[in-house]
Amino acid sequence: MRRRTRGKRILVCPQCNSGPIFQATAGITGAVYTCQKCGYVGALVLEIEVDEHGEPLR
């Protein structure tokens, strides 16, 4: 059997790798995310998988 990840996907900040990062606004140019830890604001975010405890799977 192949191993499957049972985690869920969350979005994390591309600058400080903390997360989850949440969408701040959604304008005509698309979603904008803001990081409360480092102050990053932008449309680029990283998506990672975490387990039930929020720990990254990789």
- Cβ proximity to Zn ion: between 13 and 50 the closer is 13
- Cβ proximity to Zn ion: between 5 and 9 the closer is 9
- Cβ proximity to Zn ion: between 7 and 17 the closer is 17
Window 1 to 58, contacts with Zn ion (CB under 5 A):
13, 15-16, 35, 37-38, 40
Query: What is the closest distance, in whole angstroms, from the C-beta atom of residue 53 to Zn ion in the complex?
Result: 21
* Tokens found for residue 37: 């830890």
d(CA 49, CA 58): 8
d(CA 4, CA 11): 20
Amino acid at 28: I
